[in-house]
Amino acid sequence: MTTNVGTVDRVIRLVVAVLAVIGALSIGGGLGIVLWIVAALMAVTAAVGFCPPYRLLGINTCGVRR
């Protein structure tokens, strides 16, 4: 698994994850569950540095060619 998520992209994903958690805590219900899932996906891809949809689409924001 090669890195395809750059630093700026990771920071944006972490910000989105935090905002999704805040939204999930304040909204609740079905939309809250969706926001928890979004938060988890964003946090994991930011931590790991790999995004499967990016790989399928040939996107690489880390700046390193592999």
pTM: 0.86
**Mean pLDDT score of the chain, rounded to an integer?**
92
Spell out the domain ranges in the chain.
Answer: 7-57
Q: Is the pLDDT assigned to residue 38 strictly greater than 80? A: yes
Residue 50 tokens, joined: 């790999």
Residue 66 is predicted with a pLDDT of 53
Cα angle: 34, vertex 62, 15; to 5 degrees: 35
- The confidence score (pLDDT) of residue 28 equals 85
With bands split at pLDDT 50, 70 and 90, how would you rate the model's confidence at 45?
very high
Give residue 14's pLDDT.
97
**C-alpha–C-alpha distance, residues 38 and 20, integer Å:** 7
